[in-house]
Amino acid sequence: MGWVAEGALAGPYSALVMEIESDRVLYERNADEIRHPASLTKMMTLYLVFEALEQGRISLHDTFYASNYSASRSPSRIGLRPGDPLTVEEGILALVTCSANDAAATLGEGLAGSEPAFAAMMTRKARELGMSQTVFRNASGLPDSEQVTTARDMYRLGKALLKHFPQHYPYFSTSHFQYRGRSFHNHNHLLEHYYGADGIKTGFVNASGFNLVASARRNGVRLVGVVFGGNSASRRDAHMRDLLDDGFAQIEGREPSVQFAGFDQGWSPRLLTRPGERYPLSRGAKKKRVAANVAGARGVTHRILGHRPHHAAKGGVSAKGRPAKAKSSPVRSKSSKTSVAAKR
């Protein structure tokens, strides 16, 4: 999660609610349109951490050490300084509660040797999970115009976390954790205010607005909802509650009700707006601008996924749409006293 700008505009709206056992769609709007994931990115960072734990490549007590780069990531943070130790479990807790960007970068560097190499791993895993429209450029979700996803892809990732790592999924319902005498609280307030909620992740950057992937279980039924584009955390959360309520009602046999997001005004994300432009636009201008922005965002994705040739950065995605092979030979340790980060 990045700094919340005053008077933050809503990003382009997308939403999807599905029941995970049947993949039954209970609500859908713009679910395949390109969006910026913001800190929802950390869901994939955690997926790769959980996978490494299950494969025995790391343990919860292994220690990574913050580099100059990871310690310099902008808020949210837990305040890591260069050389500070961070256990794998502390990193997990920092991501699921306060969405710490310094911890996310430290985990990525520890697992892959560098954040670009880790981002390439993230994108490869996204393809394996069927997330065909998603590209990752960092471990945290800090702003990057080429880091994109869709509501449907985020649903797939949420479902994969639930299905593949049920033993680790309870981390997402952690209310707070302590690090160096400070207490960090979970940004996902649905955990406190929505019956059955037990995860998953919030996010915000100016380009996306306030995002949320939420999971809730009632009477043996689990729904996963995705919302992009809120203009405040509270309005995003209220909309998610409405969508989940309606989803559970449909499961009980009731007719779906039309849901309107109060923040769905057709705003353009700031990364795609024109300098000096004023809001709100007229209805006709909104439609033209939304169409132009979506086309522009798709163009970014097409370039990234290789539909048009481009020069791929080292550790990124190749011109043919395949993630470039990153050199990954970080030294790993089973001891909490030994650094597993790559040489810096």
Give me the active site residues, please. Answer: 39, 42, 99
Helix locations, the chain, DSSP H: 42-54, 68-71, 88-97, 101-112, 115-128, 151-164, 190-193, 233-251, 283-304
Instruction: Kindly report whether the peptide bond that precedes residue 116 is cis, defined as omega within 30 degrees of 0.
Output: no
Q: Are 26 and 53 in contact (CB under 8 A)?
A: no
Half-sphere exposure of residue 110, counting CA atoms within 13 Å on the CB side? 37
163 is in an annotated binding site: no
CA distance 326 to 95: 24
What is the DSSP code (8-state) at residue 325?
P
Q: Which two tokens stand for residue 312?
A: 């791929």
CB atoms inside a 10 Å sphere around CB 192 = 10
What is the DSSP code (8-state) at residue 14?
E
Q: Which residues are annotated as a binding site?
A: 201
Annotated binding site for substrate: 201
